[in-house]
Chains A and B, each alone.
Chain A
Amino acid sequence: MSHTTHDGRTIADGEATGAVLRSTEPISFYGAVDIESGEFIEEGHQLEGENVSDRVLVFPRGKGSTVGSYVLYGLAQRGNAPAAIVNAETETIVATGAILGEIPCVDGIDVTDLEDGDRVNVDADEGTVTVLED
């Protein structure tokens, strides 16, 4: 078992372990994720039909409406939030949602370094993402 650690930047504190759900496309949470179920509902998006709950959601960056912050917060309130978020670059909409929803979040990571299904530990306090099993 190899343990590869990637160093990034702390966006929102906390620590979590989970399986990677990766999108190589940017995400606008508004209109894309159902807060009651955590299901990704945006038609035609790479993650359509997946569920973000308790996954380590890996995507390059956010896009779109500032209401996305509120969707992330809503997911957290319903217990459907991702376990952690890992970005190449976290912009203000996702950062705000992660901080308010208390979802550990790290950026400065090349999202292609992580594979769908990888079990990873995100230590946002340290700004690290460690792949536990390849």
Chain B
Amino acid sequence: MAMHLTADEEALLDSDNPAVRKAMELLVRLGDIYGADEMVEIASAQASGISYKSIGDPGMEFLEGFAEEGAEVRVQTFANPAGMDIDRWEEMGVSPEFAKKQRRILQALREMGVTLSFTCTPYLAGNLPRRNQHIAWAESSAVSFANSVIGARTNREGGPSALAAAITGRTPKYGLHLPENRTATHRIHVDPSLDTQADFAALGSWTGSIVEDEVPYFTGVEDATTDDLKALGAAMAATGAVALYFVEDITTDETPPIDAETLAFESGDLESEYADLTDTEDTDLVVFGCPHSSVEEIERIADRLEGESIQGDMWVCTSRSNKTWSDRQGYTDTIEAAGGTVLSDTCNVVAPIEEMGYESTATDSAKAATYLPGFGNQRVKFDDKLSLLEEVTE
């Protein structure tokens, strides 16, 4: 064993609790593989691999076994989206067999003390780290947001390693936990003005496939909302494995990279990205909320749908907490009166939509557009929210 462990950490490795022992052993091994010298204490965790669609019977049984062995989280730990709205699964068209297994996963998480948040935007739902805090988060878009926008420090964890970190309160110190690895590798000058959230998503999609797992530094971006940054990071984590990025004057005060390769994102790139992410014009489901919609996004959708009637099906996916505010503001009623559905706990990527009869999906999320063809057997149309809403209300 190459890592230095404190007396407390040695005690975790020798714990009478088999779940703690297993969790610590996993972290020590991963630390050794990736060359960590020591562990760091974490402020929070976020567990992925929560949908029954994603983890199947082996994952469900792992979580149940872990809970039975006495696994209990030591830090605030949020759960990623489930495969269904926990309350409205029947209305969604989820089968009782799927629902039963999803509820077994929920029960195991509850026993471990994991907050049943079922969201990919924990930072919008009550799990907000601060700058330079070490955390162990597993949802790729949340990892990107936490590192880049908030300035916290996390690697891209897998489901089991994030849970192990939650149970021990520690993670091996390597990768993005070390300041020397948090520097930009590419400078990307953005030429066109980015007018919509989908434009940011398209930029992210283009960038991720070029820089892969490295660190881009964007210049030329005039302004960006929190939702724009959420969309940008999610897309880069889907087409690449980007866990950290910088936007000049917007995200942090990181010094621009001196030796980095410089690339230009032109208007033509923006246009062709829209075309590349689209392979159909006719869709039977429109989905917003990958990553989960903020209250502001839901408000914009409600404003546009006031007094309108939607052709076909439309989902707005969000966290349970944002849904509560939307209910109170009347946004949910407005959207549902127009024929849409506001779903909590889940999204179109981790729900079993191909089993519900959907074959083609329209979305303003480049992340969803990237995953849906393979993961949900869907043909996809990618466009901005307002354009998509225009089409479904015609």
* Interface range for A: 20 to 34
| Interface contact B65-A77, CB-CB below 8 Å | yes
| Count of CB-CB pairs between chains A and B under 8 Å | 64
Question: Assuming A73-B62, A74-B62, A99-B25, is B160 touching A67 (CB within 8 A)?
Answer: no
8 Å CB contact of B29 from A69, A71, A95: A95
| Interface contact B159-A69, CB-CB below 8 Å | yes
- Taking the complex as formed, is A120 at the interface, i.e. its CB lies under 8 A from any CB of chain B? no
Q: CB-CB < 8 A to B22: which residues of A?
A: 99-100
Q: CB-CB < 8 A to A100: which residues of B?
A: 22, 26, 62, 160
Query: Which residues of B (7-64) have their CB < 8 Å from a CB of A?
Result: 22, 25-26, 29-30, 33, 48-49, 54-59, 61-62
- Taking the complex as formed, is A83 at the interface, i.e. its CB lies under 8 A from any CB of chain B? no
**B48: min CB distance to chain A, Å:** 7
**B289: min CB distance to chain A, Å:** 22
Q: CB-CB < 8 A to B56: which residues of A?
A: 67, 70
| Interface contact A69-B160, CB-CB below 8 Å | yes
| Interface contact B58-A70, CB-CB below 8 Å | yes
* Chain B residue at smallest Cβ distance from A13: B25
Query: Which residues of B (62-88) have their CB < 8 Å from a CB of A?
Result: 62, 65
Question: Assuming A92-B161, A99-B26, is B54 touching A67 (CB within 8 A)?
Answer: yes
* Interface range for B: 20 to 34
Q: CB-CB < 8 A to A93: which residues of B?
A: 158
User: Measured between alpha carbons, how far is A95 from B25 in the docked complex, in Å?
Assistant: 11
| Interface contact A96-B59, CB-CB below 8 Å | no
Q: CB-CB < 8 A to A95: which residues of B?
A: 29-30, 33
**B18: min CB distance to chain A, Å:** 11
User: Measured between alpha carbons, how far is A69 from B160 in the docked complex, in Å?
Assistant: 8
Q: Mark A70-110, 1 if CB is under 8 A from B, else 0.
A: 11011101000000000000101101100110000000000
- Taking the complex as formed, is A12 at the interface, i.e. its CB lies under 8 A from any CB of chain B? yes
User: Measured between alpha carbons, how far is A93 from B25 in the docked complex, in Å?
Assistant: 15
| Interface contact A66-B158, CB-CB below 8 Å | yes
* Chain B residue at smallest Cβ distance from A89: B33
Q: CB-CB < 8 A to B160: which residues of A?
A: 69-70, 73, 96, 100
Among A65, A70, A74, A95: residue with most chain B CB under 10 A: A70
- Taking the complex as formed, is A35 at the interface, i.e. its CB lies under 8 A from any CB of chain B? yes
**B217: min CB distance to chain A, Å:** 27
Question: Assuming A66-B48, A92-B30, A99-B26, is B57 touching A35 (CB within 8 A)?
Answer: yes
| Interface contact A35-B161, CB-CB below 8 Å | no
8 Å CB contact of B61 from A11, A66, A77, A99: A77
User: Measured between alpha carbons, how far is A71 from B30 in the docked complex, in Å?
Assistant: 18
**B151: min CB distance to chain A, Å:** 25
Q: CB-CB < 8 A to A35: which residues of B?
A: 57-58
User: Measured between alpha carbons, how far is A66 from B241 in the docked complex, in Å?
Assistant: 13
Q: Mark B243-275, 1 if CB is under 8 A from A, else 0.
A: 000000000000000000000000000000000
**B34: min CB distance to chain A, Å:** 8
Q: CB-CB < 8 A to A99: which residues of B?
A: 22, 25-26, 29
Q: CB-CB < 8 A to A75: which residues of B?
A: 58
**B252: min CB distance to chain A, Å:** 27
Q: CB-CB < 8 A to B48: which residues of A?
A: 66
* Chain B residue at smallest Cβ distance from A97: B160
Question: Assuming A35-B58, A74-B57, A77-B61, is B159 touching A66 (CB within 8 A)?
Answer: yes
* Chain B residue at smallest Cβ distance from A75: B58
User: Measured between alpha carbons, how far is A65 from B65 in the docked complex, in Å?
Assistant: 21
Q: CB-CB < 8 A to B65: which residues of A?
A: 77
User: Measured between alpha carbons, how far is A74 from B158 in the docked complex, in Å?
Assistant: 17
Q: CB-CB < 8 A to A96: which residues of B?
A: 26, 30, 158, 160-161
User: Measured between alpha carbons, how far is A90 from B32 in the docked complex, in Å?
Assistant: 12
Q: CB-CB < 8 A to B25: which residues of A?
A: 99
User: Measured between alpha carbons, how far is A79 from B160 in the docked complex, in Å?
Assistant: 20
* Chain B residue at smallest Cβ distance from A77: B61
User: Measured between alpha carbons, how far is A96 from B164 in the docked complex, in Å?
Assistant: 10
Residues of A within 8 A of B (CB): 11-12, 35, 65-67, 69-71, 73-75, 77, 90, 92-93, 95-96, 99-100
What are 17 A-B residue pairs whose CB atoms fall within 8 Å in the complex? A67-B55, A67-B58, A70-B59, A70-B62, A71-B58, A73-B160, A74-B57, A74-B58, A74-B62, A75-B58, A77-B58, A92-B158, A92-B161, A96-B158, A96-B161, A99-B22, A99-B29
Given A67-B58, A99-B26, list of 7 further CB < 8 A pairs? Answer: A67-B159, A70-B56, A74-B59, A75-B58, A90-B33, A95-B29, A96-B160
What are the 9 A-B residue pairs with the smallest beta carbon separation, nearest first?
A: A74-B58, A70-B59, A70-B58, A66-B158, A99-B26, A96-B160, A73-B62, A71-B58, A69-B160
